[in-house]
A = this chain, B = another copy of it.
Amino acid sequence: MSKEATSAQLNEARPEAAPLSRRERVREATLAEIKAAARRRLVAQGSGGVSLRAIAREMGMTAPGLYRYFASLDDLLLSLEADLFAELGAYVTAANEGVPEDDVDGRVLVSLRAFRFWALANRAEFTLMFGPADPRHPGSPHEDAAMEAGRRFAATFFALFDRLLGEGRFPLPDADGIPRALSCQLRAFAEATGYTSENAADGALRVLTACWVRLYGLVCMEVFQHMAFAMDDMEPLFEAELRDVLESVGVRYRPPAEGNRT
């Protein structure tokens, strides 16, 4: 469960085995260095503190040179975002694999806690990924990459949820209680995210979204420091919400182990 997740774990279906000429190798290295510098600035100064000039300065080159690698600053941030989703995904997966496969309850618990922990340990990064999407350049080359990385990340949780669903852990809400309009949106959601299990009826999707909203909302509040003035430690509230949410999907809550901090 190391913090630096290997982001080069998936060559995502590169047809050629990529012999990677010398030029390509050094290019890849520079690319990674740029993003590393960008992330340092992100952490140090927040999203607004990432500037091409500062990155270039830190690398001993000039700003226009970066345009050989990214179409714009926004594009760089988008690409970084994609990497971060991969890292978060790998982090959650690693946490997941630290628990025996048959202990689904344990895996669900550890995955969700890992999500929160990563978010808190990487506030600036989380803000970039899950914060407000300002009007970004719509045609940015790395736009799709970021999307795809997000989907991959979500898939981890979908898989766990699907397992609970398959085991019949919790009763599905009445299908009649779901209005047509909602059902329609839920199906669109399922299709867009790729959660297309045969189990995924409307009721299941409804439960899934409800769970996600609660945990996402709480972690957002915590990272965005929305209650910092009123509550210095949000962990008790998170654990309480976790307990309630998991109870609603038939997962037995267990308090966190003492030494689960990386």
Contacts and interface: CB of A to CB of B under 8 A. Distances in A.
A59 B114 CA distance: 50
Q: How large is the interface on A (under 10, 10 to 19, 20 to 34, 35 or more residues)?
A: 35 or more
A47 B226 CA distance: 18
A182 B134 contact: no
A179 interface: yes
Nearest to A240: B182
Contacts of A189: 227, 230-231
Nearest to A218: B213
A153 B14 CA distance: 53
B231 A134 contact: no
Interface in A184-232: 184-186, 188-189, 192-193, 206, 209-210, 213-214, 216-218, 220-221, 223-232
B213 A217 contact: yes
B185 A132 contact: no
Interface in A62-121: none
A11 B31 CA distance: 56
A174 to B, nearest CB: 12
